[in-house]
Protein backbone atom coordinates (compact mmCIF):
# COMPACT_ATOMS: atom_id res chain seq x y z
CA UNK A 1 0.00 0.00 0.00
CA UNK A 2 1.73 3.18 -1.15
CA UNK A 3 1.73 6.24 1.05
CA UNK A 4 -0.74 8.94 0.00
CA UNK A 5 0.24 12.53 0.80
CA UNK A 6 -2.64 14.89 1.46
CA UNK A 7 -2.73 18.63 2.04
CA UNK A 8 -5.74 19.37 4.24
CA UNK A 9 -6.82 23.02 4.33
CA UNK A 10 -9.09 24.47 7.00
CA UNK A 11 -9.74 27.56 9.07
CA UNK A 12 -9.99 25.72 12.39
CA UNK A 13 -8.20 22.83 14.02
CA UNK A 14 -8.74 21.35 17.47
CA UNK A 15 -7.13 21.93 19.97
CA UNK A 16 -5.69 25.22 18.71
CA UNK A 17 -8.74 27.02 17.39
CA UNK A 18 -12.33 25.81 17.43
CA UNK A 19 -15.78 27.28 16.94
CA UNK A 20 -17.57 24.05 16.02
CA UNK A 21 -17.44 20.52 14.75
CA UNK A 22 -15.21 21.44 11.80
CA UNK A 23 -12.25 21.88 14.16
CA UNK A 24 -12.86 18.48 15.75
CA UNK A 25 -12.90 16.75 12.39
CA UNK A 26 -9.83 18.52 11.01
CA UNK A 27 -7.98 17.81 14.25
CA UNK A 28 -8.88 14.13 14.58
CA UNK A 29 -8.88 12.77 11.04
CA UNK A 30 -5.10 12.91 10.38
CA UNK A 31 -4.22 10.42 13.13
CA UNK A 32 -6.89 8.01 11.94
CA UNK A 33 -5.73 8.38 8.34
CA UNK A 34 -2.13 7.64 9.32
CA UNK A 35 -3.28 4.10 10.15
CA UNK A 36 -4.59 3.85 6.57
CA UNK A 37 -1.30 4.83 4.96
CA UNK A 38 -2.26 8.47 4.43
CA UNK A 39 -0.01 11.28 5.55
CA UNK A 40 -1.92 14.49 6.18
CA UNK A 41 -0.36 17.91 6.54
CA UNK A 42 -2.84 20.55 7.61
CA UNK A 43 -2.64 24.17 6.47
CA UNK A 44 -4.30 26.66 8.82
CA UNK A 45 -4.21 30.45 9.25
CA UNK A 46 -1.62 31.83 11.64
CA UNK A 47 -4.02 33.20 14.24
CA UNK A 48 -2.23 34.17 17.48
CA UNK A 49 -3.56 31.03 19.23
CA UNK A 50 -2.16 28.81 16.48
CA UNK A 51 1.28 30.44 16.46
CA UNK A 52 1.40 30.27 20.24
CA UNK A 53 0.39 26.62 20.28
CA UNK A 54 2.81 24.98 17.86
CA UNK A 55 6.29 23.61 18.26
CA UNK A 56 7.97 25.27 15.27
CA UNK A 57 10.36 23.25 13.14
CA UNK A 58 11.05 25.69 10.29
CA UNK A 59 10.03 28.97 8.64
CA UNK A 60 9.93 29.60 4.91
CA UNK A 61 9.49 33.11 3.57
CA UNK A 62 6.77 33.36 0.93
CA UNK A 63 6.28 36.26 -1.44
CA UNK A 64 3.77 38.92 -0.41
CA UNK A 65 0.20 37.63 -0.11
CA UNK A 66 -2.61 40.15 -0.62
CA UNK A 67 -0.58 43.16 0.34
CA UNK A 68 1.57 41.91 3.17
CA UNK A 69 4.49 39.64 3.94
CA UNK A 70 3.80 35.99 4.63
CA UNK A 71 5.73 33.08 6.06
CA UNK A 72 4.96 29.39 5.95
CA UNK A 73 5.67 28.01 9.40
CA UNK A 74 5.98 24.26 9.75
CA UNK A 75 5.53 22.57 13.09
CA UNK A 76 3.53 20.22 15.23
CA UNK A 77 0.83 20.44 17.87
CA UNK A 78 -1.12 17.63 19.50
CA UNK A 79 0.36 15.11 17.07
CA UNK A 80 -0.70 17.16 14.04
CA UNK A 81 1.70 17.97 11.22
CA UNK A 82 0.87 21.63 10.65
CA UNK A 83 1.64 24.19 7.97
CA UNK A 84 0.75 27.61 9.31
CA UNK A 85 0.27 30.63 7.10
CA UNK A 86 1.78 33.41 9.16
CA UNK A 87 0.51 36.62 7.56
CA UNK A 88 0.26 39.22 10.34
CA UNK A 89 -1.70 41.72 8.23
CA UNK A 90 -4.46 39.10 7.90
CA UNK A 91 -4.44 37.12 11.13
CA UNK A 92 -2.51 38.84 13.94
CA UNK A 93 -5.50 40.33 15.80
CA UNK A 94 -7.49 39.85 18.95
CA UNK A 95 -10.89 38.33 18.38
CA UNK A 96 -12.34 35.22 16.78
CA UNK A 97 -11.30 33.48 13.58
CA UNK A 98 -14.12 35.12 11.62
CA UNK A 99 -15.24 38.14 13.61
CA UNK A 100 -13.81 40.85 15.80
CA UNK A 101 -14.50 41.39 19.49
CA UNK A 102 -17.65 43.34 18.51
CA UNK A 103 -19.05 40.21 16.87
CA UNK A 104 -18.90 41.70 13.36
CA UNK A 105 -17.21 39.72 10.57
CA UNK A 106 -13.70 40.93 9.80
CA UNK A 107 -14.12 43.25 6.80
CA UNK A 108 -11.26 41.58 4.93
CA UNK A 109 -12.46 37.99 5.36
CA UNK A 110 -12.45 37.47 1.59
CA UNK A 111 -8.70 38.06 1.55
CA UNK A 112 -8.01 36.26 4.82
CA UNK A 113 -9.41 33.01 3.48
CA UNK A 114 -8.50 33.48 -0.18
CA UNK A 115 -4.91 33.76 1.08
CA UNK A 116 -5.22 30.37 2.72
CA UNK A 117 -6.52 28.82 -0.50
CA UNK A 118 -3.97 30.61 -2.65
CA UNK A 119 -0.99 29.44 -0.61
CA UNK A 120 -2.47 25.93 -0.61
CA UNK A 121 -2.72 26.08 -4.40
CA UNK A 122 0.93 27.18 -4.60
CA UNK A 123 2.04 24.28 -2.41
CA UNK A 124 -0.13 21.86 -4.37
CA UNK A 125 1.33 22.89 -7.71
CA UNK A 126 4.97 22.63 -6.76
CA UNK A 127 5.57 26.15 -5.50
CA UNK A 128 7.27 24.91 -2.35
CA UNK A 129 10.40 22.91 -2.93
CA UNK A 130 10.18 20.92 0.31
CA UNK A 131 6.96 19.03 -0.23
CA UNK A 132 4.16 18.49 -2.66
CA UNK A 133 0.90 16.59 -1.96
CA UNK A 134 -0.71 13.94 -4.15
CA UNK A 135 -4.13 15.40 -3.42
CA UNK A 136 -5.73 18.36 -1.64
CA UNK A 137 -8.66 18.28 0.76
CA UNK A 138 -10.50 21.56 1.30
CA UNK A 139 -12.89 22.03 4.23
CA UNK A 140 -15.89 24.37 4.07
CA UNK A 141 -16.13 27.79 2.43
CA UNK A 142 -12.94 29.10 4.00
CA UNK A 143 -10.95 26.72 1.79
CA UNK A 144 -13.47 26.75 -1.06
CA UNK A 145 -11.38 28.82 -3.49
CA UNK A 146 -8.66 26.17 -3.53
CA UNK A 147 -10.35 23.89 -6.11
CA UNK A 148 -11.12 26.99 -8.20
CA UNK A 149 -7.50 28.19 -8.17
CA UNK A 150 -6.37 24.68 -9.13
CA UNK A 151 -8.94 24.51 -11.91
CA UNK A 152 -7.70 27.74 -13.49
CA UNK A 153 -4.06 26.70 -13.15
CA UNK A 154 -4.92 23.59 -15.15
CA UNK A 155 -2.32 20.93 -15.93
CA UNK A 156 -0.09 19.93 -13.06
CA UNK A 157 -2.76 20.47 -10.42
CA UNK A 158 -3.49 17.54 -8.10
CA UNK A 159 -7.04 16.27 -7.63
CA UNK A 160 -9.16 17.93 -4.97
CA UNK A 161 -11.80 16.90 -2.45
CA UNK A 162 -14.20 19.45 -1.00
CA UNK A 163 -15.88 18.55 2.27
CA UNK A 164 -19.04 20.38 3.30
CA UNK A 165 -19.42 20.53 7.06
CA UNK A 166 -22.34 22.91 6.84
CA UNK A 167 -24.00 24.16 3.67
CA UNK A 168 -25.52 27.08 5.56
CA UNK A 169 -22.25 28.99 5.44
CA UNK A 170 -21.80 29.98 1.80
CA UNK A 171 -18.83 32.36 2.24
CA UNK A 172 -20.45 35.15 0.21
CA UNK A 173 -18.60 38.29 -0.88
CA UNK A 174 -18.98 41.17 -3.33
CA UNK A 175 -18.67 40.05 -6.95
CA UNK A 176 -16.29 42.95 -7.66
CA UNK A 177 -13.59 41.14 -5.69
CA UNK A 178 -13.22 38.43 -8.33
CA UNK A 179 -10.09 39.88 -9.96
CA UNK A 180 -8.53 41.06 -6.73
CA UNK A 181 -8.77 37.47 -5.50
CA UNK A 182 -6.85 36.30 -8.54
CA UNK A 183 -9.68 34.63 -10.46
CA UNK A 184 -10.63 35.42 -14.07
CA UNK A 185 -13.76 37.49 -14.73
CA UNK A 186 -15.15 34.43 -16.50
CA UNK A 187 -15.40 32.68 -13.14
CA UNK A 188 -18.09 35.13 -12.06
CA UNK A 189 -20.98 33.32 -13.73
CA UNK A 190 -23.55 30.70 -12.71
CA UNK A 191 -21.31 27.93 -14.01
CA UNK A 192 -18.50 29.34 -11.84
CA UNK A 193 -18.41 30.94 -8.42
CA UNK A 194 -21.44 33.22 -8.86
CA UNK A 195 -24.22 32.55 -6.37
CA UNK A 196 -27.36 34.71 -6.55
CA UNK A 197 -25.31 37.73 -7.54
CA UNK A 198 -22.57 37.20 -4.98
CA UNK A 199 -19.22 35.49 -5.11
CA UNK A 200 -19.51 32.33 -3.01
CA UNK A 201 -16.37 30.58 -1.86
CA UNK A 202 -18.40 27.49 -1.00
CA UNK A 203 -19.80 27.42 -4.51
CA UNK A 204 -16.26 27.62 -5.87
CA UNK A 205 -15.42 24.44 -4.00
CA UNK A 206 -18.62 22.65 -4.95
CA UNK A 207 -18.25 23.59 -8.61
CA UNK A 208 -14.57 22.86 -9.12
CA UNK A 209 -13.56 20.08 -6.71
CA UNK A 210 -13.14 16.66 -8.29
CA UNK A 211 -15.09 15.05 -5.47
CA UNK A 212 -17.47 16.47 -2.89
CA UNK A 213 -18.06 14.82 0.43
CA UNK A 214 -20.29 15.76 3.27
CA UNK A 215 -20.29 14.50 6.79
CA UNK A 216 -23.08 11.95 6.76
CA UNK A 217 -24.92 9.86 4.18
CA UNK A 218 -28.20 11.34 5.41
CA UNK A 219 -27.07 14.93 4.80
CA UNK A 220 -25.65 13.92 1.40
CA UNK A 221 -29.12 12.74 0.43
CA UNK A 222 -30.82 15.83 1.87
CA UNK A 223 -28.69 18.55 0.29
CA UNK A 224 -29.71 17.66 -3.25
CA UNK A 225 -33.27 18.72 -2.33
CA UNK A 226 -34.65 22.26 -2.35
CA UNK A 227 -35.63 21.92 1.32
CA UNK A 228 -32.06 21.35 2.57
CA UNK A 229 -29.96 22.53 -0.38
CA UNK A 230 -29.62 26.20 0.69
CA UNK A 231 -29.71 27.20 -2.97
CA UNK A 232 -26.92 24.80 -3.92
CA UNK A 233 -29.24 21.84 -4.57
CA UNK A 234 -29.30 22.30 -8.35
CA UNK A 235 -25.52 22.27 -8.56
CA UNK A 236 -25.33 19.34 -6.15
CA UNK A 237 -27.84 17.36 -8.19
CA UNK A 238 -25.77 18.02 -11.28
CA UNK A 239 -22.70 16.83 -9.42
CA UNK A 240 -24.48 13.87 -7.84
CA UNK A 241 -22.01 11.31 -9.15
CA UNK A 242 -19.15 13.17 -7.42
CA UNK A 243 -20.98 13.54 -4.09
CA UNK A 244 -20.96 11.13 -1.18
CA UNK A 245 -21.48 11.18 2.59
CA UNK A 246 -18.85 9.94 5.05
CA UNK A 247 -19.87 10.02 8.67
CA UNK A 248 -17.71 11.86 11.19
CA UNK A 249 -16.07 10.01 14.02
CA UNK A 250 -14.95 11.47 17.31
CA UNK A 251 -11.65 11.60 19.13
CA UNK A 252 -12.21 8.60 21.39
CA UNK A 253 -9.13 9.39 23.49
CA UNK A 254 -10.25 12.96 24.20
CA UNK A 255 -13.79 11.72 24.78
CA UNK A 256 -13.32 8.64 26.94
CA UNK A 257 -15.49 8.43 30.06
CA UNK A 258 -13.04 5.99 31.65
CA UNK A 259 -10.12 8.43 31.57
CA UNK A 260 -11.77 11.85 31.23
CA UNK A 261 -9.83 14.32 33.37
CA UNK A 262 -12.78 16.68 33.60
CA UNK A 263 -15.06 14.21 35.37
CA UNK A 264 -15.96 13.93 39.04
CA UNK A 265 -15.91 10.15 38.65
CA UNK A 266 -14.60 8.49 35.47
CA UNK A 267 -16.73 5.46 34.54
CA UNK A 268 -17.48 2.84 31.95
CA UNK A 269 -20.56 0.84 31.01
CA UNK A 270 -22.01 -0.91 34.01
CA UNK A 271 -20.37 1.35 36.58
CA UNK A 272 -23.64 3.21 37.11
CA UNK A 273 -22.79 4.30 40.66
CA UNK A 274 -19.81 6.23 39.34
CA UNK A 275 -21.94 7.70 36.60
CA UNK A 276 -24.49 8.75 39.22
CA UNK A 277 -21.78 10.77 40.98
CA UNK A 278 -21.28 12.77 37.81
CA UNK A 279 -25.01 13.42 37.67
CA UNK A 280 -25.04 14.73 41.23
CA UNK A 281 -21.97 16.88 40.53
CA UNK A 282 -23.63 18.32 37.43
CA UNK A 283 -26.80 19.08 39.34
CA UNK A 284 -24.76 21.00 41.91
CA UNK A 285 -22.82 22.83 39.21
CA UNK A 286 -25.98 23.95 37.40
CA UNK A 287 -27.93 24.82 40.55
CA UNK A 288 -30.35 21.95 40.06
CA UNK A 289 -31.96 19.96 42.87
CA UNK A 290 -29.70 16.99 43.62
CA UNK A 291 -32.12 14.23 42.74
CA UNK A 292 -30.91 10.87 41.42
CA UNK A 293 -34.39 9.93 40.18
CA UNK A 294 -35.30 13.03 38.18
CA UNK A 295 -34.54 12.47 34.48
CA UNK A 296 -31.86 15.02 33.62
CA UNK A 297 -31.82 16.27 30.03
CA UNK A 298 -29.00 18.42 28.74
CA UNK A 299 -28.10 20.60 25.76
CA UNK A 300 -24.55 21.36 24.60
CA UNK A 301 -24.85 23.52 21.54
CA UNK A 302 -24.39 26.67 19.61
CA UNK A 303 -27.61 28.56 20.28
CA UNK A 304 -28.78 29.10 16.73
CA UNK A 305 -31.88 28.64 14.61
CA UNK A 306 -30.30 25.57 13.04
CA UNK A 307 -30.26 23.77 16.36
CA UNK A 308 -34.04 24.06 16.90
CA UNK A 309 -33.66 25.23 20.47
CA UNK A 310 -36.59 27.62 20.10
CA UNK A 311 -38.66 24.44 19.82
CA UNK A 312 -37.15 23.24 23.08
CA UNK A 313 -38.03 26.53 24.81
CA UNK A 314 -41.62 25.94 23.68
CA UNK A 315 -41.53 22.34 24.92
CA UNK A 316 -40.25 23.19 28.41
CA UNK A 317 -43.66 23.10 30.13
CA UNK A 318 -44.02 19.49 28.97
CA UNK A 319 -40.46 18.63 30.06
CA UNK A 320 -41.18 20.03 33.52
CA UNK A 321 -44.57 18.31 33.66
CA UNK A 322 -42.71 15.03 33.14
CA UNK A 323 -40.75 15.70 36.33
CA UNK A 324 -37.55 16.18 34.38
CA UNK A 325 -34.68 18.64 34.77
CA UNK A 326 -32.77 20.53 32.07
CA UNK A 327 -29.12 21.66 31.97
CA UNK A 328 -28.09 23.94 29.10
CA UNK A 329 -24.58 24.87 27.97
CA UNK A 330 -24.46 27.12 24.96
CA UNK A 331 -23.81 30.48 23.41
CA UNK A 332 -25.11 32.26 20.37
CA UNK A 333 -28.22 34.19 19.40
CA UNK A 334 -29.39 36.75 21.94
CA UNK A 335 -33.03 35.65 22.00
CA UNK A 336 -32.07 32.07 22.77
CA UNK A 337 -29.51 33.02 25.41
CA UNK A 338 -32.10 35.29 27.03
CA UNK A 339 -34.79 32.63 26.70
CA UNK A 340 -32.85 29.95 28.54
CA UNK A 341 -31.61 32.43 31.17
CA UNK A 342 -35.20 33.47 31.84
CA UNK A 343 -36.37 29.87 32.10
CA UNK A 344 -33.58 29.07 34.57
CA UNK A 345 -34.63 32.05 36.69
CA UNK A 346 -38.29 31.07 36.51
CA UNK A 347 -37.64 27.43 37.45
CA UNK A 348 -34.80 27.33 39.99
CA UNK A 349 -33.66 23.83 40.78
CA UNK A 350 -35.36 22.48 37.66
CA UNK A 351 -33.65 24.32 34.81
CA UNK A 352 -30.04 25.44 34.89
CA UNK A 353 -28.08 27.20 32.21
CA UNK A 354 -24.53 28.31 31.57
CA UNK A 355 -24.14 30.76 28.71
CA UNK A 356 -20.66 30.59 27.24
CA UNK A 357 -18.17 28.19 25.78
CA UNK A 358 -16.75 25.69 28.26
CA UNK A 359 -14.92 22.55 27.10
CA UNK A 360 -14.74 21.00 30.60
CA UNK A 361 -18.43 21.51 31.25
CA UNK A 362 -19.26 20.01 27.84
CA UNK A 363 -17.64 16.79 29.07
CA UNK A 364 -19.32 16.99 32.47
CA UNK A 365 -22.74 17.43 30.83
CA UNK A 366 -22.32 14.30 28.72
CA UNK A 367 -21.17 12.31 31.75
CA UNK A 368 -23.83 13.55 34.15
CA UNK A 369 -26.98 13.96 32.10
CA UNK A 370 -29.33 11.06 31.49
CA UNK A 371 -30.15 12.28 28.00
CA UNK A 372 -28.93 14.80 25.43
CA UNK A 373 -31.46 16.83 23.42
CA UNK A 374 -30.62 17.69 19.79
CA UNK A 375 -33.78 19.05 18.11
CA UNK A 376 -31.96 20.43 15.05
CA UNK A 377 -33.77 21.64 11.95
CA UNK A 378 -30.85 20.30 9.95
CA UNK A 379 -27.64 18.66 11.13
CA UNK A 380 -24.86 17.76 8.68
CA UNK A 381 -23.46 15.18 11.09
CA UNK A 382 -23.57 16.40 14.66
CA UNK A 383 -20.88 15.47 17.13
CA UNK A 384 -22.61 15.99 20.44
CA UNK A 385 -24.86 12.95 19.95
CA UNK A 386 -21.74 10.86 19.30
CA UNK A 387 -20.16 12.05 22.54
CA UNK A 388 -23.48 11.34 24.25
CA UNK A 389 -23.53 7.76 22.94
CA UNK A 390 -20.02 7.20 24.24
CA UNK A 391 -20.89 8.63 27.65
CA UNK A 392 -24.20 6.80 28.06
CA UNK A 393 -26.32 9.95 27.80
CA UNK A 394 -29.22 8.79 25.65
CA UNK A 395 -29.53 11.06 22.58
CA UNK A 396 -33.00 12.40 21.86
CA UNK A 397 -32.65 13.73 18.34
CA UNK A 398 -34.49 15.12 15.34
CA UNK A 399 -34.39 12.63 12.48
CA UNK A 400 -32.28 14.76 10.12
CA UNK A 401 -28.84 14.43 8.55
CA UNK A 402 -26.27 12.66 10.64
CA UNK A 403 -28.58 12.49 13.63
CA UNK A 404 -30.77 10.03 11.76
CA UNK A 405 -27.70 8.02 10.72
CA UNK A 406 -26.12 7.63 14.15
CA UNK A 407 -28.92 7.07 16.65
CA UNK A 408 -31.03 3.90 16.67
CA UNK A 409 -34.54 4.90 17.68
CA UNK A 410 -36.14 2.95 20.51
CA UNK A 411 -39.05 1.84 18.38
CA UNK A 412 -40.75 -1.44 19.26
CA UNK A 413 -38.67 -3.48 16.81
CA UNK A 414 -35.36 -2.01 17.99
CA UNK A 415 -36.35 -2.52 21.61
CA UNK A 416 -37.41 -6.08 20.82
CA UNK A 417 -34.08 -6.75 19.14
CA UNK A 418 -32.26 -5.06 22.01
CA UNK A 419 -30.39 -2.61 19.77
CA UNK A 420 -31.90 0.80 20.57
CA UNK A 421 -29.51 3.61 21.49
CA UNK A 422 -31.73 6.69 21.57
CA UNK A 423 -34.94 8.41 20.59
CA UNK A 424 -35.68 10.05 17.24
CA UNK A 425 -38.52 12.34 16.22
CA UNK A 426 -39.53 14.04 12.96
CA UNK A 427 -38.18 17.60 12.79
CA UNK A 428 -38.97 20.38 13.24
CA UNK A 429 -41.95 20.22 15.55
CA UNK A 430 -42.55 21.24 19.15
CA UNK A 431 -45.33 18.70 19.51
CA UNK A 432 -43.15 15.85 18.26
CA UNK A 433 -40.25 17.03 20.45
CA UNK A 434 -42.61 16.95 23.43
CA UNK A 435 -43.60 13.44 22.44
CA UNK A 436 -39.97 12.39 22.22
CA UNK A 437 -39.21 13.84 25.66
CA UNK A 438 -42.20 12.00 27.10
CA UNK A 439 -41.11 8.77 25.40
CA UNK A 440 -37.59 9.16 26.78
CA UNK A 441 -38.94 9.65 30.30
CA UNK A 442 -41.05 6.47 30.02
CA UNK A 443 -37.94 4.56 28.88
CA UNK A 444 -35.88 6.13 31.67
CA UNK A 445 -38.34 4.95 34.31
CA UNK A 446 -38.07 1.37 33.00
CA UNK A 447 -34.59 0.88 34.43
CA UNK A 448 -33.61 -2.44 32.73
CA UNK A 449 -34.61 -1.04 29.33
CA UNK A 450 -32.72 2.21 29.95
CA UNK A 451 -29.59 0.38 31.09
CA UNK A 452 -29.74 -1.80 27.98
CA UNK A 453 -29.93 1.35 25.84
CA UNK A 454 -27.00 2.91 27.71
CA UNK A 455 -24.91 -0.22 27.22
CA UNK A 456 -25.76 -0.27 23.50
CA UNK A 457 -25.00 3.43 23.19
CA UNK A 458 -21.64 3.11 24.91
CA UNK A 459 -20.73 0.16 22.68
CA UNK A 460 -21.52 2.09 19.46
CA UNK A 461 -18.49 2.49 17.24
CA UNK A 462 -18.10 6.26 17.07
CA UNK A 463 -14.38 6.14 16.33
CA UNK A 464 -12.66 7.47 13.23
CA UNK A 465 -11.60 3.98 12.10
CA UNK A 466 -14.46 3.34 9.68
CA UNK A 467 -14.67 6.92 8.38
CA UNK A 468 -10.87 7.08 7.91
CA UNK A 469 -11.04 3.91 5.85
CA UNK A 470 -13.71 5.55 3.68
CA UNK A 471 -11.65 8.72 3.14
CA UNK A 472 -8.54 6.66 2.36
CA UNK A 473 -10.57 4.60 -0.11
CA UNK A 474 -11.84 7.77 -1.75
CA UNK A 475 -8.32 9.26 -2.03
CA UNK A 476 -6.93 6.06 -3.55
CA UNK A 477 -9.82 5.78 -6.01
CA UNK A 478 -9.15 9.36 -7.12
CA UNK A 479 -5.44 8.72 -7.61
CA UNK A 480 -5.85 5.38 -9.36
P1 LIG B 1 -21.77 22.46 15.09
O2 LIG B 1 -20.46 22.18 14.43
O3 LIG B 1 -22.92 22.70 14.15
O4 LIG B 1 -21.70 23.53 16.13
P5 LIG B 1 -21.48 19.77 16.18
O6 LIG B 1 -22.37 18.95 17.04
O7 LIG B 1 -21.00 19.14 14.93
O8 LIG B 1 -22.24 21.14 15.89
O9 LIG B 1 -20.19 20.21 17.00
C10 LIG B 1 -20.29 21.05 18.09
C11 LIG B 1 -19.00 20.96 18.88
O12 LIG B 1 -18.86 22.13 19.68
C13 LIG B 1 -18.98 19.81 19.85
O14 LIG B 1 -17.63 19.43 20.05
C15 LIG B 1 -19.56 20.42 21.13
O16 LIG B 1 -19.18 19.74 22.29
C17 LIG B 1 -18.96 21.79 21.07
N18 LIG B 1 -19.74 22.84 21.72
C19 LIG B 1 -20.83 23.49 21.25
N20 LIG B 1 -21.23 24.45 22.10
C21 LIG B 1 -20.38 24.40 23.15
C22 LIG B 1 -20.24 25.15 24.37
N23 LIG B 1 -21.09 26.13 24.66
N24 LIG B 1 -19.24 24.84 25.21
C25 LIG B 1 -18.39 23.82 24.91
N26 LIG B 1 -18.45 23.10 23.77
C27 LIG B 1 -19.43 23.37 22.91
Q: Give the model confidence (pLDDT) of 208-248 as tens digits.
A: 999 999 999 999 999 999 999 999 999 999 999 999 999 99
Residue whose CB lies within 8 A of the most ligand 1 atoms, among 26, 363, 383, 385, for a mutation test: 383
CATH class belonging to 272-459: alpha beta
Domain boundaries, the chain: 4-249+465-479, 272-459
**DSSP conformational letter for 10:** -
**Residues composing the chain:** 480
Distance between CA atoms of 401 and 378, rounded to whole angstroms?
Answer: 6
Q: How far is the centre of ligand 1, averaged over its atoms, from the C-alpha of 68 (Å)?
A: 34
Which H, E and C letters describe 279-341, residue by residue? HHHHHHHCCECCCCCCCEEEEEEEECHHHCHHHHHHHHHHHHHCCCEEEEEEEECHHHHHHHH
For residues 93-107, average pLDDT = 95
- ∠ CA 410-314-385, rounded to 5°: 40
Mutation test residue for ligand 1: of 165, 214, 362, the one with most atoms within 8 Å of CB: 362
Of the candidates 212, 397, 433, the one whose C-alpha atom is nearest the C-alpha of residue 314 is: 433
**Model pLDDT for residues 115-146, shown as the tens digit of each residue:** 999 999 999 999 999 999 999 999 999 999 99
Beta bridge partners of 74: 58, 83
Range 282-297 average pLDDT:
98
Q: What is the mean pLDDT of residues 301-327?
A: 97
Beta-bridged to residue 68, according to DSSP, are 65
Q: Tens of pLDDT along 379-390?
A: 999 999 999 999
Closest CA to 42 of 141, 123, 156, 102: 123
Say whether pTM exceeds 0.85: yes
- The reply to whether domains 4-249+465-479 and 272-459 share a CATH topology is yes
Distance CA 31, CA 447 (A): 38
CATH homologous superfamily of domain 4-249+465-479? Glycogen Phosphorylase B; (3.40.50.2000)
SS3 416: helix
| 390-419 residue pLDDT tens | 999 999 999 999 999 999 999 999 999 999
Q: Which residues pair with 353 in a beta bridge?
A: 328
* Cα separation values, 362 from 231, 383, 387, 445, 466, Å: 33, 12, 10, 25, 25
CA of 25 to the centre of ligand 1 (A): 12
Find the helix or strand (DSSP H, E) in which 23 lies: helix 21-34
Query: Can you say whether residue 300 is alpha, beta or left, with left for phi > 0 and alpha for psi between -120 and 50 degrees?
Result: beta
The C-alpha atoms of residue 379 and residue 199 are separated, in whole angstroms, by: 25
State the closest ligand 1 atom to the C-alpha of 359, by its place in the atom list counted from 1.
25
Of the pLDDT bands very low, low, confident and very high (cuts 50, 70, 90), residue 427 is confident
Cβ–Cβ under 8 Å, residues 64 and 90: no
Pocket of ligand 1 (CB under 6 A): 20-21, 24, 300-302, 329-331, 357-359, 362, 381-384
Angle between helices 384-391 and 447-459 (to 10 degrees): 120
Amino acid sequence: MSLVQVLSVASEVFPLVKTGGLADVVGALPAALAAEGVRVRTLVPGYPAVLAGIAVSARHALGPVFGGPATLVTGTAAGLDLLVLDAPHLYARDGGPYAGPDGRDWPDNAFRFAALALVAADIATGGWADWRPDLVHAHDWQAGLLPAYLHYRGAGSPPSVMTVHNLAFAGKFQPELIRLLGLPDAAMQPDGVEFFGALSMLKAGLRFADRITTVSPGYAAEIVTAEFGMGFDGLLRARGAALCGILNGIDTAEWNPATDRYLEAPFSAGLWQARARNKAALQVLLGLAVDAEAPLFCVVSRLSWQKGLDLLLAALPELLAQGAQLAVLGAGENVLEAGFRAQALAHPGRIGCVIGYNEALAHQMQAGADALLVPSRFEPCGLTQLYALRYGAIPVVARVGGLGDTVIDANPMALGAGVATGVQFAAPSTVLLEGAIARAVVLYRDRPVWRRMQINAMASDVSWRGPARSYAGLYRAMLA
